[in-house]
Amino acid sequence: SQKIEQNSEALNIQEGKTATLTCNYTNYSPAYLQWYRQDPGRGPVFLLLIRENEKEKRKERLKVTFDTTLKQSLFHITASQPADSATYLCALDGAGSYQLTFGKGTKLSVIP
Amino acid sequence: EAGVAQSPRYKIIEKRQSVAFWCNPISGHATLYWYQQILGQGPKLLIQFQNNGVVDDSQLPKDRFSAERLKGVDSTLKIQPAKLEDSAVYLCASSSLAGELFFGEGSRLTVL
């Protein structure tokens, strides 16, 4: 069966360090993968989209990699700040249908 | 640009009662989604509309849930009768063809 796994439910990191979050998937051939941020009591907010033929994408302090051989995406936040504390969700489009399946998310806490 | 509007933000009902949630997507977005997010989980797709037609409702519990998007703009999700396990946040999202989803703030349902 199809599965999306985000490496941990919670991740604590010191301010200024790089946070790395992992998303692994099985039995998918995604056309693209997306990362979202969700704050408590709010809807998810889109951060980055990476396509199957792209290895890496960057946006300001954010970097996403996508390895279709390993079936894994890594999401990095460099120079992390307490304001980066949130839950980060990985989402896959299974067949280019503009229909996303989400992982459970990783709750990131950046400690001052 | 106005975002995705949802109402009500909060609703508390007794089991076996009915409830309806409303969503107005971003202007011009043809695709509209309803997701269910249970505490500690990622969003789970219930139904996807393209204009006023249903693209996928395979995960919608049709014995109690219904959704419509009559004029291809706003949408209503109804639950009747509600069960305890329906307690969740109901998220509406819309998208253009770029692929990323724009979510509303969600409607939090508590079933007692």
Query: Consecutive 10-residue runs of chain B (112 residues): their mean pLDDT?
Result: 93 98 95 96 95 92 95 94 97 88 97 98
Measured CA to CA, the distance from residue A60 to residue A82 in angstroms comes to: 16
- Contact call for A93 and B40, based on CB within 8 A: no
A99–B contact, CB cutoff 8 A: yes
Q: How many CB pairs under 8 A join A and B?
A: 56
At A2, the pLDDT band (50, 70, 90 cuts) reads: confident
Q: What is the DSSP string of A51-63?
A: ETT-SEEEETTEE
pLDDT average, residue stretch A60-85 = 96
So what's the pLDDT on residue A36? 98
pLDDT average, residue stretch A20-40 = 92
Three-state DSSP class for residue A9: coil
So what's the pLDDT on residue A96? 60
Tell me the shortest Cα–Cα distance from A9 to chain B, in angstroms. 9
Sign for the pseudo-dihedral over CA of A95, B91, B22, B58: positive
Tell me the shortest Cα–Cα distance from A42 to chain B, in angstroms. 5
Residue of B nearest to A88 (CA): B42
pLDDT average, residue stretch A49-55 = 91
Contacts of B27 by beta carbon, 8 Å cutoff, 6+ apart: B1, B2
Average pLDDT, chain A: 92
Measured CA to CA, the distance from residue A110 to residue A66 in angstroms comes to: 24
At A95, the pLDDT band (50, 70, 90 cuts) reads: low
Please return the burial class of A31, using the count of CB atoms within 10 Å of its CB with bins 0-12, 13-18 and 19+: middle
Please return the burial class of B17, using the count of CB atoms within 10 Å of its CB with bins 0-12, 13-18 and 19+: middle
Q: How far is CA A98 from CA A31, A103, B48, in A?
A: 9, 16, 9
- Contact call for B103 and A93, based on CB within 8 A: no
A87–B contact, CB cutoff 8 A: no
Three-state DSSP class for residue A12: strand
So what's the pLDDT on residue B20? 98
Which of B103, B105, B107, B108 should be substituted to probe chain A, the one whose Cβ sees the most A Cβ atoms within 10 Å? B103
Comparing A39-53, A65-79, A91-105, B92-106, which segment has the lowest mean pLDDT? A91-105
- Contact call for A105 and B95, based on CB within 8 A: no
Phi, psi (deg, nearest 5) at residue A62: -100, 140
**HSE-up (13 A, CA, CB side) for residue B4:** 32
